[in-house]
């Protein structure tokens, strides 16, 4: 079976998506598998036709602002414009996100389902994985064991559907690790060091987070303004 994997991470190396593709490979071995990275590749005509003639497309990408990053979006638009003569293609998605809950990926999964409707392809299944940044720390633990238990089980289910060309219920999971512990660890070992590397202090991270609370206030003002206008009009 011809399977094409699209790595949709904007990172050129060491992405969680790349690790997830590594995890997937043993489950689909024995098939004709080709992998592309939307950031690294300027797709040629031959590469596009290779994608269009696959039996299975597996998109592996991170969640960006509850959605799809611009590199992947541009690629999807281009692929949609080129179209598919052979509509007999099943699409599966493995989406990872930074927050603990894999459920956060459901909007991005819906976007991919809509893309399938637009292109006439069949949507197979989503695997949404939370706490993506944790996965590189767990890479020496075999799938299906300890903190990688859920991920191993989910990969087994997804690959079963891929290989049998069936549809499956969307799976949204997190690693088998306490949420509160991950929050502390991620702050100390991932987010704070990353902020520092980008010239930001911890406090500035929190200041930025507070900006979002300005949105509901503005919205509240707008609602109050609207309702006062309404009551004036009705008087």
Ligand X SMILES: Cc1cc2nc3c(=O)[nH]c(=O)nc-3n(C[C@H](O)[C@H](O)[C@H](O)COP(=O)(O)O)c2cc1C
d(CA 212, CA 70): 22
Quick one: which H or E segment has residue 99?
A: none
> Least CB distance from residue 70 to ligand X, whole Å?
10
Nearer to ligand X (CB atom), residue 57 or residue 89: 57
Report the C-alpha dihedral over residues 69, 122, 34, 86, rounded to 10 degrees. -120
When asked if residue 17 is in the footprint of ligand X (CB under 6 A), the reply is yes
Among 3, 38, 56, 63, binds ligand X (CB under 6 A): 63
Nearer to ligand X (CB atom), residue 15 or residue 150: 15
Size of the site for ligand X (CB under 6 A): 17
Using DSSP, state whether 149 is helix, strand or coil. Answer: helix
Longest dimension (CA), the chain: 75
CB 147 within 8 A of CB 138: yes
- Range 94-113, binding ligand X (CB under 6 A): 96-99, 104
d(CA 99, CA 173): 11
Among 65, 181, 209, 215, binds ligand X (CB under 6 A): 65
When asked if residue 64 is in the footprint of ligand X (CB under 6 A), the reply is yes
d(CA 12, CA 207): 30
Span of 77-85, 90-98, 176-184, 196-204 interacting with ligand X by CB under 6 A:
90-98
- Note the residues at the interface with ligand X (CB under 6 A): 9, 11, 15-17, 62-66, 96-99, 104, 132-133
């Amino acid at each position: 079976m011809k399977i094409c994997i699209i790595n949709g991470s904007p990172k050129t190396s060491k992405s969680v998506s790349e690790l997830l593709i590594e995890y997937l490979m043993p489950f689909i071995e024995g098939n004709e598998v080709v992998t592309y990275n939307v950031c690294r590749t300027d797709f040629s005509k031959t590469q596009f036709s290779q994608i269009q003639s696959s039996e299975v497309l597996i998109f592996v990408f991170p969640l960006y602002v509850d959605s799809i990053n611009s590199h992947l979006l541009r690629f999807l638009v281009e692929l949609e414009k080129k179209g598919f003569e052979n509509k007999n293609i099943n699409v599966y998605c493995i989406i990872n996100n930074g927050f603990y809950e894999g459920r956060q990926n459901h909007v991005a999964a819906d976007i991919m389902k809509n893309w399938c409707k637009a292109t006439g392809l069949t949507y197979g299944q989503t695997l949404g994985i939370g706490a993506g940044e944790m996965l590189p720390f767990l890479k020496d633990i075999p799938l299906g064991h300890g903190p990688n238990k859920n991920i191993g089980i989910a990969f087994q289910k997804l690959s079963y559907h891929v290989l049998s060309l069936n549809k499956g219920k969307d799976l949204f999971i997190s690693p088998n690790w306490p949420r509160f512990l991950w929050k502390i660890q991620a702050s100390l070992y991932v987010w704070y060091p990353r902020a520092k590397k980008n010239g930001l202090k911890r406090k500035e991270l929190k200041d930025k987070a507070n900006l979002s609370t300005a949105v509901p206030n503005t919205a509240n003002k707008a609602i109050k303004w609207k309702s006062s206008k309404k009551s004036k009009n009705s008087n």
